[in-house]
Amino acid sequence: MSQITSEEWKTWKQDPVSRLFYTACIERIDDAKEVLANTAGMDSDMDNFYRGFIHGYREMLEFRVEDSDSDGEEATLQ
């Protein structure tokens, strides 16, 4: 696990490049959901691929930092 400060995490999340990264993740999720909605049931392997693809991107979007002490000085990326 990587150690960063809560402030570093907040700064990174506000960076324009990070914001574009998150936007791209959301677009990929939406695109995959659209493909899945239009092709579900035709190929179960592809259905599973898109389900896993969506899950993986959602997991990236849900990364968070939890304080490891009461001061928030050191945090764990999870």
Position 73 scores a pLDDT of 52
Q: Where are the domains of the chain?
A: 3-66
How many CA atoms within 13 Å lie on the side-chain side of 2? 10
Mean pLDDT of 63-76: 61
Position 76 scores a pLDDT of 57
Nearest alpha carbon to residue 47 among 56, 57, 38:
38
Residue 57 token pair: 């991107």
The 10s digit of each residue's pLDDT in 9-52 is: 889 999 999 999 999 999 999 999 999 999 999 999 999 999 99
Nearest alpha carbon to residue 55 among 38, 33, 34:
33
Residue 64: alpha-carbon gap to chain centroid: 10
42-51, 52-61, 66-75: range with lowest mean pLDDT? 66-75
